[in-house]
Amino acid sequence: MKRRDFLKKTGIATAAVVTATAGIMGCGKKEEKATGPAVTQKTYQWKMVTTWPPNMPVLQTGAERFAKRVEEATDGRIKIQVYAGGELVPALGVFDAVSDGTVEVGSGASYYWAGKVPAGQWFSSVPFGFNPQGINTWFYSGGGLKLWEEVYAPFNVVPRPQGNTGVQMGGWFRKEMKSLASYKGLKMRIPGLGGKVVAKAGGAVTLMPGGEIFTSLERGVIDATEWVGPLHDLRMGFYKAAKYYYYPGWHEPGTCLEVIFNKKIYDSLSKDLQLILDAIAMETNLWSLCEFEAGNGAALEELINVHKVKLMEFPPKMMDDLRKLAYEVLEEEAAKDPVSKKVHEAYKKFKKQVGIWGTVADSAYFSTIADKYALRTK
């Protein structure tokens, strides 16, 4: 039996063994004391449920990657079995399952539980709000994550950012979107606060998990949908049911995906395990954004060149109108409960603190190299 396995089996803390061995080997020398905290050898077998369709790249595979790396980093002390949406609990029932302890871990996006935690929506995506850089900055350097923890704590849930989709696409439509009025009577699948904006513009908004969207669009249950960006939208096959593909995704300019832990379980872990979970969540957050960024461009070209999708930009006047409407909706939604109000005010305050930096830096820079990134059409 390997020494490490022996330690695991006997449950003897490494530090204690090192101390004892040093005493024996020292033969009369003064006993050396090991420093640092003892590492617990307690092991955990967890279940993780997600909102994502099976094998969905970056989303479901990201959750699986998270589980694998946690097992590796903890040397097998935490093993996580991952289930896709609907395999163990309903896709939109992830938050409840983690909250009540049915499972230990979950993965999704906070706008999926808006019915239960309306204030949570600000932590996934805000229409005309932060891009990935901005929302991550709010989380890690602007107090956003601490506030998110406060919002989820009454539900016995601990959140961590676990991924980011980048700026999403505006969605798939069967008709041209010429003005705000184009949303009137439109049956569209669109989640979160962006969905509230479309509803205020007169749309009939529905929320359904990823696995149900294509069939609904194909059968005409909905007229339009949004999902993520080219990489994922291509895989979903939406181009077979709608030809107009609009940008930009004003409703989801940098959506944060989350990993959530049952708080009682998370709090009971030794510090080293908590740090490992946090660190793997953080690196998965970065990895996920990079995967989207790496794949979107080529997927967009395939949609246009192979599947003859019409790439369309929302007209400037329509974007102006949507932005004004979005700001109204955000105030209305924030006024509905004190927690939402608190989060909304914190978000606005940080947005003000960041100020025009993104305009001076990123957008000005990108505008100078726009021609080099021009779409290569065949």
Interface region with Ca ion, contact rule CB under 5 A, candidates 66-74, 161-169, 217-225, 354-362: 161-169
Residue closest to Ca ion, measured at CB: 252
Shortest Cβ distance from residue 169 to Ca ion (Å)?
8
Shortest Cβ distance from residue 176 to Ca ion (Å)?
21
Per-residue mark of binding to Ca ion, 114-153 (x: CB under 5 A): ----------------------------------------
Q: Does 252 bind Ca ion (CB under 5 A)?
A: yes
**Interaction residues for Ca ion, span 174-233 (CB under 5 A):** 226
Q: Which is nearer to Ca ion, 73 or 188 (CB)?
A: 188
In sequence order, the 6+-apart residues with CB closer than 8 A to the CB of 368 are none
Interface region with Ca ion, contact rule CB under 5 A, candidates 74-82, 85-93, 162-170, 285-293: 162-170
Q: Which is nearer to Ca ion, 64 or 233 (CB)?
A: 233
Q: Do 265 and 144 form a contact (C-beta atoms < 8 A)?
A: no
Shortest Cβ distance from residue 288 to Ca ion (Å)?
14
Q: Which is nearer to Ca ion, 76 or 248 (CB)?
A: 248
Shortest Cβ distance from residue 227 to Ca ion (Å)?
6
Whole-angstrom distance, CA of residue 378 vs CA of residue 87: 42
Shortest Cβ distance from residue 256 to Ca ion (Å)?
12
Q: Which is nearer to Ca ion, 96 or 252 (CB)?
A: 252
Q: Do 253 and 131 form a contact (C-beta atoms < 8 A)?
A: yes
Q: Which is nearer to Ca ion, 165 or 182 (CB)?
A: 165
Shortest Cβ distance from residue 277 to Ca ion (Å)?
26
Interface region with Ca ion, contact rule CB under 5 A, candidates 20-28, 213-221, 234-242, 246-254: 246-254
Q: Which is nearer to Ca ion, 104 or 226 (CB)?
A: 226
Q: Which is nearer to Ca ion, 118 or 170 (CB)?
A: 170
Shortest Cβ distance from residue 10 to Ca ion (Å)?
50
Whole-angstrom distance, CA of residue 137 vs CA of residue 122: 14
Shortest Cβ distance from residue 291 to Ca ion (Å)?
16
Q: Which is nearer to Ca ion, 142 or 170 (CB)?
A: 170
Beta strand 224-225 pairing with 187-189: parallel
The pair of three-digit structure tokens given for residue 257, joined into one six-digit string: 């995906």
Q: Which is nearer to Ca ion, 118 or 171 (CB)?
A: 171
Q: Which residues pair with 171 in a beta bridge?
A: 246
Shortest Cβ distance from residue 247 to Ca ion (Å)?
13
Kindly state the number of chain residues that form the binding site for Ca ion, as judged by CB under 5 A. Answer: 3
The pair of three-digit structure tokens given for residue 228, joined into one six-digit string: 């993520």
Whole-angstrom distance, CA of residue 313 vs CA of residue 129: 19
Q: Do 163 and 284 form a contact (C-beta atoms < 8 A)?
A: yes
In the complex, the residues that contact Ca ion under the rule CB under 5 A are: 168, 226, 252
